[in-house]
Structure 1
Amino acid sequence: MDQIRQQLKLLDEQLAERRSLFDFFMSRSPLFLLAVGLTAGIAVQHLCGLNAVFWFIAIVVLAGAAVLVSRWDAGGGRSVAFIAIALFMGIGAVRVASYETLPGNHITRVAGEERTLATLRGRVCSKVFTPGRDAWAFSGWGFNKPGSSFYLECESVKTRGGFAAVSGKVRVQVNSKVRSVQCGDLVELHCWLDRFSPPTNPGEFDFQAYLARRNIHVGASVNGAGSIRVVESNGWASLPGVRVRLADLFREQLIEDGCAGMQTRGLIEALLLGNRSNIDAETHAAFRKTGLAHFISLSGMHIGMFAYFVWVLCRHAGFLKTARAMILMGVVGVYVLAVPSRPPTTRAAILCFFFALSVIVNRKPNALNTLGLAGICLLLYRPTQLFNAGFQLSFATVLGIILLQPRLHSFANRVVGDRLGELYAASSVGAAKFAIWVGRHMLELLTVGAAAWIGGAAIILYHFGSVSGASAVWTVFAYPLVLAIIAGSMVQILAGMVFPTVGVALSVFVDSMAECLIWLVRFLAEIDVTALRVGEVAIWMVVVYYAGVLFMRFGQYRRRVLRRMGVSAACVGVLLPFGVNLLARGEDGLRLTVLNVGHGQAVLLETPSGENMLFDAGSLTRNDIGSRVVVPFLQHRGIDRLDAVCISHEDIDHLNGLPEIVEQCDVERILGNRGVIESDSATASFLRDAVAERGGSLTLLDGGLLDGGSVKIDVIWPVESAAGDIALSDNDSSSVFLVRFAGRSILISSDIEEYAQGGIMERYPDLGADVLILPHHGSTTHLVESFVQSLEPEVVIASCSRGRLNSVYRPDFDGDHYATASHGAVTVEIGVDGDVSACGHLRPGE
């Protein structure tokens, strides 16, 4: 009977789809069309910035047209629908324009364009976050002590005449740990106000845009916790304070009852509360590689699991549907308060509320209509979250499930499901029937995962540059463990509050499931050969992909030949983003990028034959450049493997990002000079241990690095006679690399000073360099000007911090001069014809 009902339902859907795509949505899900109009209006206004008066006039005219058409044309349903969509487009534009317009007393007016000293009063509206000392390998070293950060809802700012009222939020960064401040406290702080800067490296997280979407444009820098005074401590009086305390209550139950390690508890906390900060980098990378990162991102799926668990629990407790719906609304509301406010969780909560409401009023819910209503609610509240990756993925994957899963499930049933049903009916052995039952449900779960993957693949590629083709299959294996962890954790929290012994017993089960999940995901990451990294994807590729998907889903052709041609063309459109970027990898020229890491150095070389080599990876002024700068840049370029990492010497500003690179990337060789390999200094010893803990090892850098094909790389310093000189300083013993290609040369001179510069001029009198990376970050203190002049470079690059920008060497001869502090990452390209070009990420036109 169930199969007959499914076939009848499918037949009804096929008959409905014989109408146009617009009529299909208009008849079944009109709210979804209104959400599309709202989305279009927000996008157009955000990109074009049209005058608000234009939109107000358009709204009035369209509203009047809708009234006239509906009154005079009884059959004008399609015309009214088009007008309604256009009307919502205008509403979306007006809403985003009003959201992005800051009030006259906003804190940005105080900050201005330059760094400003100020005294602020406001209420702390977030949890005070302090990273642990093990946040990254070198985080415990003195120059990079962990500080605290939080968000402040500003109320007043001190002026010459006293405190004046201001509005808006700021992000507060304190240079030391803050222990006396809690969410909801009214505080006064002395700080520097400054606007956020755009990312200075390709692929780097755009913190400025992320905060701007929340109308936060100013940061407050506080020298220490002593510059913060608590005026009023009353955390429970504010909604953010209530949310933080609820989250802490849940976290205490999870941590205090648990007996497993921090890694396991960190995974449980991520699955249940959305806090990923305690997940180790290896596990996090495995989740991303296998396409299972949505499990640790507290998506709508988690809310769905939680709601399903509550519904089943209430049903077994004997509650009627109406009571179940009311309990569901209350429990989900409390849970959403305790977890971070993100678009996927908010969207899922809205869907749960409308589902419960439909049960109360005895109406059958329409999934697509409800999804559209959820989108309208979220976008009217904060329209700029449309440009958030989480928002886009949340709605795209759910839309994929709604539109594609029934078709995929029907196809799977025809291929496998019907046969499983026959076996289930014919089997008389309990174990066999159970195995077949599990198989049928896994098949359904597979089609759900496949539909979600199709819905979100292009967005994942656009934002992250990689995707796993087998993620739908891996979801089938991981889902039962995730469901067991979430259900077990919820029972543990509830039972632990009343019966602590029961909570401890349940924690053993939850910890075991978490350990199994970690092992499974790491194992799948090892065997996953479908993980594809393509790098940056253009927006037009995303449009072509979804056009192909929609055509494959809704395209109607009576002739089989035309249908096959149309489907083939759609398949080409779907696969185009993958193919274009993969073909683009085969560049003929050489590419070198000097990343902006502040006072430090990280240089990536990409050869025409596909070798990727990294020279140094460290910084004194920026934290965790391995995870925050180098790895994101590699992902941006579509690089998942480094053939070699070369460390020039043992100074910490050239190596403290290496452990995270080894942990998150496939590195074939790690090379270092004698100081790095043999020195007993604290820095070198710590580096060797940190790399070994992550499965790597350092070998001695000796002779040529690459001596085949069109690219040749040699180590020209230190020479053998100078290498054994114990009086040679660490800087003068730095390895100097000479790269040659197409008759051109690049000199990476590390931190060499006067002695080494003179030695190179004496040993290589005819040495020239078309591109020179200045010694010692471009500092003029230990630079021999004749050394630079003798090389006659066309392009000169200084890898330096903003604080040292004024002391950077600037050549007085013809040539292009770049400093990473002002230009951002600097990219040099040498074509096969020897043509040299260079540009900075922040100032590409120069």
Structure 2
Amino acid sequence: MKRPMVIFFVLYLIGLLLASINQYKAILFIAFSIIIMATGYFYKTYLKVWILCLPFICFFAFFWMNNTVINMEQNHIYTFENRVNATIVGEVKSYNVSNNRSVIIIESNRIEINGEQHYDPLSIRVTVNERVKVTLKDQIHAKGTLYALELPRNDGAWNEKLYYNIRNIDYRFFANTIHIEEKNKSMKQFLVDFREVLKSNYQKILPAEEAGIIIAMTLGDRTLLDEDIRTLFQQSGMIHILAISGLHITLLGVFIFSLLKKLNVSIYYAAASTIVLLMLYLLLTGSSISTQRAVFMMGVLLTAFIIGRTYDILSALAFAGFFLLIKNPLYLFDVGFQLSFVAIMGITLLTPHIEGFFRKKNKFITLTSASIAAYISTTPIIAYYYFEIPMYSIVTNILIIPLLTILVPLALFSGLVSIFSLTIGRLSIGLVYFILQFYQIISEWITNLPFNTYLTGRPHWGWIVLFYAIIGLMIYFKNNKTIQRYVAIGTVFLVILFKIMEPNYLEVHFIDVGQGDSIFIKTSNNKHIIVDGGGSIFEEIGTRRLLPFLKYNKIKRIDYMFLTHSDLDHIQGLIEIIDEIQVNYLVVPKTDFRNPLFDELLDKAKTNDVKVIEILKDDMFIIGNTQIRCLFPKEDTMVRGNNDYSLVLSLDYKEVKVLLTGDIEKEQEKVLVDYVDQHQILKVPHHGSKTSSTDDFLQAIQPRVAIISSGVYNTYGHPHQEVIDRYHSYDTIIYNTADDGAIKMVTDGKTLRISTKLPRKE
């Protein structure tokens, strides 16, 4: 058997993945049984002693991952919900300081919470909204708010807890006051200071926009990167050049090695010196996961060269994977780790097969084939994490990668030269500036092309496994066209079968928009409805919560956008997204009581050719098997404020009825009780305020389930306890977005299934 290191790594990966599903005991038993039997079979076939190690490698990975997760959870020892006032003392481990914000990672040696002293060594990310002078090893004394790391509260939301746990951070802390006790500089501080000098010089020899790009590309620091540039590069498929990737390290390593050879340094000393300089560069740039992988593989390549051994890229990749995942098995769930390893594997395995489709072979064909291979191999991961894929990134890479061989070494050289002379630095970096201008022109051109991105939504992990299994089979049976044909036919058959078997349910999502309302409805005939969009003066709810949710669920259009009333916490999100997604109809209450936000939404609807429908009681929408009836307001409703004309909508699907109540209060409920009928699901009026949910109203509705949409630590005290008690008196099951995150209801018209984004509390 060839490449034992690759086989070891695959078994190690299997062990880590099995640990992530350790709640399914039957699957674990079957998987480990298969591994043990397969080991026996291959040992008898090949008589290689190392084969007997395979189950032990898998078991070790399984227990190592479990142990890491257990230790991680044990570090989260403080029993508080979301946040608590605290005082912390700790030692600075790393930091990033900008003009008006400082982020400092400390290892705590004392934490005071509610008068109690704790002496647990925890890693805490400290943020302070000012520029502070700090160095490594300094002692930090800070007062402020300690935050527990959060799981995603909505589809498409960022997994803060996983992201920081991968980086061995246990809590976040926002400092109101901070005191720094300076200590002697460490050796690592000299590298940090050197990086700050380079950052400062790049800002002096380049315009701000270009300086931010070069600092991200060469130093791994994105704090100065313009957000519009980041978005532009992402949409054009160029985002990968804004991180220190394997390509950057390869270019840098080759440049250093070639330069040393030209200076008549012996080959062995040149290789050894290159390894040392790349290790220093790794420390200088913050040691990202993809950079660690690239430096490790380059080190293996140069070491093999020194000792006269053959370099095998797949074995080196497996070796690097072993090193990183033993260091921290949670790296497996980092998108940078996954993209870095899958891209290299795809380029290595697929490029020769793609080249076979071309009659001639030259550098351009190889570059094109490698770009196609990287695109094919990374597309499922990009779709999984970003919910859309750039369609022209193959073309983009063909245009930009050749120039990277000039840009990266020259940018680093110019940064180093600028330390001695800013004038020479400006002269030498001129070509870099023009290359960056060319990159931006290419990005803007690609972005403006039709269909430049394709919305995929988040694919199910099963489809991703199937995708890579098909590629693996195609490669394995590369010389057997018959089997390849069967694999292709079988794939098409499976896709069609799953599409036919896809159930047609009604889905209702109560999106967590903080202190506000937003409900997304997907009907059984695949029509999309949104009722309200949340809103906040502190956050762009539409951009940061609604659009990621819609992309995650592959929603390309909104058929009906309902606005219940024009309070900020219901309308702002709709104003933000109506420019970003196709909307067919905007449905609003018929009223003359309007505010500037209402007028702004109507103006945007007109600009985007969205038809506006005004409705009152008894107006109705029939959408397939789904019926939406307006129960309020009536024609003669007296209006003194926004809540007085809030829409009340009855959503009926076969035997299931959902009542959406906006922000109605006691006066509106009193009108409704005269004609409203029972509903199994009730969106609690006005976020659970004591001005709503009267006993007469609940008596008329008789809800089995009540959904409250409120914000964590909202200043209104929603939901009020007396309202909660009133619902409990009707044996109503209560869900609250503040506690449960987004709430999803799925029904076939008879039965209901309700799930929450966050784990339910007992």
- Same fold judged by TM-score > 0.5? yes
Which residue in the other structure is 2:641 paired with? Answer: 729
- 2:250 counterpart (279, 290, 304): 304
> 1:777 — aligned with what?
687
Instruction: Give the conservation status (yes or no) of the 8 Å contact 2:705–2:733.
Output: yes
2:510 match: 594
1:111-510 aligned within 5 A: 118-128=86-96, 149-157=103-111, 165-172=119-126, 176-177=129-130, 179=132, 181=134, 184-190=137-143, 193=146, 195-217=148-170, 219-222=171-174, 224-226=175-177, 228-232=178-182, 236-237=185-186, 239=188, 241-242=189-190, 244-259=192-207, 262=209, 264-276=210-222, 284-285=230-231, 287-289=233-235, 291-311=237-257, 313-314=259-260, 321-409=267-355, 411-414=356-359, 417=360, 440-468=362-390, 470-480=392-402, 482-483=404-405, 485-505=407-427, 509-510=431-432
Kept in 2, the 8 Å contact 1:484–1:513? The answer is no
Residue by residue over 1:189-229, the C-alpha shift from the partner in whole angstroms, topping out at 9 and shown as x without a partner, is: 34555643433323322222333334444x2544x432x32
How far is 1:612 from its partner? 2.3
Shift of 1:346: 0.7
Judged with a 3 Å threshold, the aligned counterparts in structure 2 of structure 1 residues 120 and 815 are, in CA distance, closer, same or farther, namely closer
In the alignment, is the contact (CA less than 8 A) between 2:687 and 2:718 conserved in 1? no
What is the letter of the counterpart of residue 822 of structure 1? D
Q: Distance in 1 between matches of 2:389 and 2:308?
A: 41
State the distance in 1 between where 2:133 and 2:746 align. 52
Matches within 5 A, 1:643-722: 643=559, 645-657=561-573, 661=577, 665=581, 679-680=595-596, 702-703=614-615, 709-713=624-628, 717-719=632-634, 721-722=636-637
Contact 2:106 2:126 in 1 (8 A): yes
The two structures have a TM-score, normalised by structure 1, of 0.75
**Which secondary structure does the structure 2 equivalent of 1:827 belong to?**
strand
Whether 1:608 and 2:553 are equivalent positions in the alignment is: no
2:467 aligned residue: 545
SS in 2 for 1:601: coil
Partners in 1 of 2:146 and 2:656 — Cα distance? 46
Structure 1 residue 297, shift from structure 2 partner:
3.9
Q: Is the 8 A contact 1:303 1:349 kept in 2?
A: yes
Q: Which residue of 2 aligns with 1:641?
A: 557
Distance in 1, matches of 2:116 and 2:652, equals: 64
Mapped contact 1:715–1:738 kept (Cα < 8 A): yes
Aligned to 2:462, what secondary structure does the other structure show? helix
Q: Share of identical aligned residues, percent?
A: 22
Which residue does the alignment assign to 1:798?
A: 708
Select the residue among 808, 819, 828 that pairs with 2:745. Answer: 828
**Change in 2 beyond 3 A, CA 1:817/1:302:** same
- Please tell me the root mean square deviation across aligned C-alpha atoms, in Å: 4.5
Confirm or deny that 1:807 pairs with 2:727.
Answer: no
Deviates more, 1:268-277 or 1:391-400: 268-277
AA aligned to 2:295 is: A
For 2:114 and 2:704, the matched residues in 1 are separated by 53
- CA distance in structure 1 between the partners assigned to 2:13 and 2:631 by the alignment: 58
Q: What SS class does the counterpart of residue 702 from structure 1 fall into?
A: strand
- Which residue is 2:49 aligned to? 80
Return the letter of the residue paired with 2:157.
E
Q: Which moved more, 1:822-831 or 1:498-507?
A: 498-507
Distance 1:603 1:115, change over 3 A: closer
- 8 Å contact kept, 2:687–2:719: no
Q: Is the 8 A contact 1:537 1:581 kept in 2?
A: no
Report whether the alignment pairs 1:840 with 2:742. no
Unmatched segments (≥5 aa) in structure 2: 26-31
Q: Judge conservation of contact 2:392–2:446 (CA < 8 Å) in 1.
A: no
Name the stretch that deviates more: 475-484 or 659-668: 659-668
- 1:357-392 deviations in Å (ceiling 9; x for gaps): 333344442212221221122122222212322212
Give deviations 1:611-670, integer Å, cap 9, x for gaps: 323333335597444444323322331223334544444433234445764676555667
Checking the alignment, whether the CA contact within 8 Å between 1:534 and 1:582 is kept in structure 2 is no
Distance 2:302 2:704 in 1: 69
Superimposed CA distance per residue, residues 753-789 of structure 1 (whole angstroms, 9 cap, x where no aligned partner): 3444445557xx3566553322221212345443444
The number of residues matched between the two structures is 738
For 1:250 and 1:821, the matched residues in 2 are separated by: 45
- Cα distance in 2 for partners of 1:706, 1:265 equals 54
User: 1:482 offset after TM fit, Å?
Assistant: 4.9
Q: Is the Cα–Cα contact under 8 Å of residues 482 and 517 in structure 1 kept in the other structure?
A: no
Contact 1:673–1:700 (8 Å) recurs in 2: no
Contact 1:650 1:676 in 2 (8 A): no
Q: Quote how far apart the aligned CAs of 1:493 are.
A: 1.5
State whether residues 548 and 573 of structure 1, in contact with CA within 8 Å, keep that contact through their aligned partners in structure 2: no
Counterpart AA for 1:225: N
Letter aligned with residue 249 of structure 1? V
Q: One-letter code of the match for 1:204?
A: A
Could you tell me whether the CA contact under 8 Å between 2:575 and 2:600 is conserved in 1?
no
Alignment CA distance shift 1:103-1:839 (3 Å): closer
TM superposition shift of 1:258 = 1.8
Tell me how far 1:519 sits from its aligned partner.
3.9
2:12 pairs, out of 38, 45, 51, with 38
Cα shift at 1:398: 0.8
User: Is the alpha carbon distance of 1:267 and 1:774 closer, same or farther for their aligned partners in structure 2, counting shifts above 3 Å?
Assistant: farther
> Structure 1 unaligned runs (5+)?
1-22, 52-57, 67-72, 133-146, 419-439, 558-562
Q: Secondary structure at the match of 2:531?
A: strand
User: In 2, distance between residues paired with 1:580 and 1:253?
Assistant: 59
Alignment of 1:48-67 (within 5 A): 48=22
Kept in 2, the 8 Å contact 1:154–1:169? The answer is yes
Aligned equivalents of 1:83 and 1:619: distance in 2? 60
Report what 1:631 is aligned to. Answer: 547
Q: CA offsets per residue over residues 333-378 of structure 1, 9 Å max, x none? A: 3332232432211100111222233333444422122212211221
CA apart distance, 1:82? 0.7
CA distance 1:126–1:569, shift in 2 (3 Å): farther
| 2:736 aligned partner, one-letter code | A
Contact kept in structure 2, 1:615 and 1:646, CA below 8 Å: yes
Answer whether contact 1:545 1:573 (CA < 8 A) is retained: no
Structure 1 residues 496-539: Cα deviation after superposition (integer angstroms, max 9, x where no partner): 22332243345554344334323433433443648544434333
